[in-house]
Structure 1
Amino acid sequence: MITNLINEQLICLNLQATTKEEVFVEMIDLLHKQGRVNDKDQFLADIHAREELGNTGFEEGVALPHAKSGAVSEPAVAIGISRSGIEYGAEDGLPSKLFFMIASPDGGANHHIEVLAELSSKLIEDGFIDEFMSAKSAQEALGLLLAKTEPSETTPVADKGLLIGVTGCPAGVAHTYLAAEALEKAAAELGYEMKVETNGSIGVKNSPTAEEIERAEAIIVSCDKQVDMTRFAGKKLVKTGVKAPIKDGKGLINQALQAATYQVSGEDAPAQTESKVSQARSDLYRYLMNGVSHMIPFVVTGGLLIALALALGGQPSEAGMAIPEGSMWQKVLDVGVVAFTLMIPILAGYIAYAIADRPALAPGLIGGWIANNGSFYGAEAGTGFIGAIVAGLLVGYFVKWLVSINYHKFIQPLVPIMIAPIAGSLFISSLFIFVIGAPIASLMDGLNAMLTSMSTGNVVLLGIVLGGMAGFDMGGPFNKVAFLFSVGMIASGQTQFMGAMACAIPVAPLGMGLATIIGRKLNLFEESELEAGKAASAMGLVGISEGAIPFAAQDPMSVIPANVLGSMVAAVMAFSFGITNSVAHGGPVVALLGAMNKPLMAIVCMIAGSVVTALVAISLKKMRQAKAQAALA
């Protein structure tokens, strides 16, 4: 790659600049004279924008300013040497003397990342920087840069076993690859085979397989960004910042070989006692967890803002809980609705991201939005969180397959930034609009017809069906059909259906909030779930069933049956006690504001259903936990 991007005219062995800004201007002028940059001011602005993300001055007097810019007409690397040194803000506090300015076209390949990776192997070589600084001509300097490194005859044979490294810096650029090169070089000198996973700005590359992790002698995680640590449980492991291997790769490897075996901590799993269970978690579970963890802030933010607005500014009306137009609480509600609208696409997007990295993020978000918006496929309601999970998984696996194809070298750079996102978006949107959408619309029509035909039948059976639908998907088609059916019955004067629905609606969030309180000491819930439980309780009080979505998305086999059973109990009790509700809303707030004929009994129904949900959820979780532990024993 370097051979295609640099020539003697792009090398200046004696920069006249005395400041960082002057270095940029002088080197950009080199690029401009060679026709590589067509707008010097724009490229300078883009270089500054990159510097704002993190200083590109590194150790040993090297600086790597770079940018992707629309001002770049042809990718290139300019090299400059300042004999006196420039105050660049380098991390070791020393002046910078050797500058590599990398220009990459905006929207094109990630040339700057590829060049940084290639330069890393040179910069890590002992004596290379001093030798390059001593070059007498641009021709000599270019020769040093392009010279192939001959393998050392004294380098031990890699017969001591396999080591695995993970590197990554916040910007995902230079340090990521410098650290990887340092680990590979140190491992080779010590006689070990080394495989390094890089968590760079173009995504996670070179990830070790489960078999490779199993046979690895030790793991070195030198990363300043979050990585999946659970896969390394039971292996000798050392965790450091990304700079550590650059400074002392051999020492770090020796430290890892002497380290204790890594046990999954509370930051990585529900509890230390479940470390074996964590190891056995399937990839599917990790994908769901990634989506749920990113969704929870949206659920909490949106749910609490909506709950606050309804509780303090809401008034019961025939159309439901109403907030006066133009009031402060209306604005608070609007902000909450934005967060709630985003949570389903976020769930889908980050499930897809976990499977196929950044190329899958955009189509995952788009697929989640379409899945949750029934207007795209002629349904009264979207598919809710279940549709988001389906969309995320489909997009993720589709994009993962797409990027795995062996493309021509000219097309390959376009795959992660253009081909995969566009193809993934068209794939999932077409699937929902033309394939999945029609059955969903028909399902909703069929469910509505079924409820209508049952409306004159046995109230216990109707309560079971209505309550079960309310608790099944929390905002999805089943929940929406039951809710809209009940609202429609208010117009005909039959308010007992909305009474049962109002009692069933809050059961899922209240039940899961109660479950987190009871299950706290049983290590059944992760820390994020315990926090989400508090928010779910608040949402349940004002009738927002979506508060239970994070729990259902993370562990559907335990949570959905619990929600369904609890909601059934609440609905059947409400029908049996003759509870009615005249507004299109549910939860304790409706009873307290006088919209229900028997507010005390309505709250009893909600409490009973919530207790059932909590107990069933805990029981199912414990059974699943015991089964998993028995499988590993």
Structure 2
Amino acid sequence: MKITDLLKKESVELGVNVSSKEAAIDRLVDLMNAAGRLGNKAAYKEGILAREALGSTAVGDGIAIPHAKVAAVKEPGLAAIVVPDGVDYDAYDGSLSRIIFMIAAPDGEADVHLEALSKLSTLLMDPDFKESLIHAGSKEEFLRLIDEKEAGKAAKPKETKSGYRVLAVTACPTGIAHTFMAAENLEQKGKKLGIPLKAETNGAEGVGNALTKEEIAAADGIIIAADKNVDMSRFDGKRVVVATVSEGIQKGEELIKRAVSSETPVYRYNGPASSGEDSRQEGFGRSIYKHLMNGVSHMLPFVIGGGILIALAFLFDDYSIDPSNFGKNTPLAAYLKTIGEQAFGMMLPVLAGYIAMSIADRPGLAVGFVGGLIAKMGATFANPAGGSVNSGFLGALLAGFIGGYIVLFLKNAFKKLPKSLEGIKPVLLYPLIGILLVSVVTTFINPFVGAINDGLTSLLNGMGGTSKIILGAVVGGMMSVDMGGPVNKAAYVFGTAQLAEGNFDIMAAVMAGGMVPPIAIALCTTFFKKKFTDKERQSGLVNYIMGLSFISEGAIPFAAADPLRVIPSCMIGSAVAGGLSMALGCTLRAPHGGIFVLPTIGNPFGYLIAIIVGSFAGCLVLAALKKNLQSE
């Protein structure tokens, strides 16, 4: 059945001016009735409103398709209005609906409404076709445009040999949730737009769904949605759009349209030093953040694995044997703690090494590693063996950036060397001179960085009850600001850095804050069902598991759909949990694990109370802010 078989001239109205969603529905119901499709106009309208109560039928991009399958309909039909100035139809993307089709289907017949809905959704994905309908000069032209589009006379999407017009690479610092959510969203948006897209994931387990040379050669454009550096050399000569991984989740359609646009400039690869730049030239702050996150993403497995092993050593030890040697009193505890300390001890060199590698590519790795080791040793010119100052995490971080930029300086300085010496640069000149220079600079700054660390440690240790509660609330709340984004990562990195310094209570507050958002949303979908759609309630059940596993990203779909209500609610709940964790004296030696490392937590019952109270606080605030779907 063709769309124009369902859409009569009498049920189309152009140039409509309506002030609300309700007024638009009334106008469409009148048109449907005028076309003779309805047996009971009031009952049909009730069916439309009942469907809207489950969630708005606005599909975004200026389009809405309300529909109902009820006994009040005599025969299947369509009605359409064009609202040039748009009307607020509660679209998920906040856009005003400019073209609205209404579908009527008799109860008990085949799913004509679903077939029509599918056809309309597919046709309206073409932005040019949508605009042509909006600007149609008459009802006859409106119907003719639909006929031509459905008959296939309009331009078909371009196909490539590989089948993909756009390719994407997604990567986040931890390589867990954001990476795969961005890839899934981009692929789904590509299907919606009729633009085949393949997404490569640079996740925690390595590269997944890798792009091939043939696919890259055939693609119209490339999207890099990443918060750490990826290999850009393979995209030389292609149109490249670079964005954050969060933009890959939230702005998929916009990125895809830019990737196929002729206005997007062609990327030119100028060597490893430019691999973090895009065609728009990244800002300094964004570049620094990506280098830092590259180090953090490689550091986390050492921190998490080593930290949990150390925590287990305390769990399996007997404090009464020798309190001064707690953690190594029994053979099993001693073995676990020794391994854990070795793994955890790699944290600082790995952080510095991969920051330097992000800046200067492979020649920066060894230089950064050594700089991180010098910072970890606390070496000074007065005491080269180290041990007299505590440079720690901050020192290693600085050493990574210093080492990376030293190697970049050496690369530029050695450009004029004869071609015959090219082979000795990476194996002799860069490591020899780079390691020497980074060691000298790091040794020089160690006393100053050590003084800063000692001052911060003294400040934290000297904090009274109220001050610590405030600190716990702040770092806990930060975990909910962007659910795995830069603010969340800043709080987490601060927690892991203090973990290395022996301040275990801060890490406890950080993890409590990160566990709350998914749990709070899951509780709200369970106890306040009328505020969520069926799909959201189903997703809410999964959030129980994600929250208990300390995966804050489970809250992202809800936050993206309703940020003004969800994010403040989660921040309040996380702040409550972080503050309570501090107030109850909870400590955490493991930097990850959620509820599964509960036995290794100091005051575990207090910690459970902090998480439960914080989660319910976030749940209740969200319930108060979010209206029932029926009332919307």
TM-score (norm 2): 0.38
TM-score (norm 1): 0.38
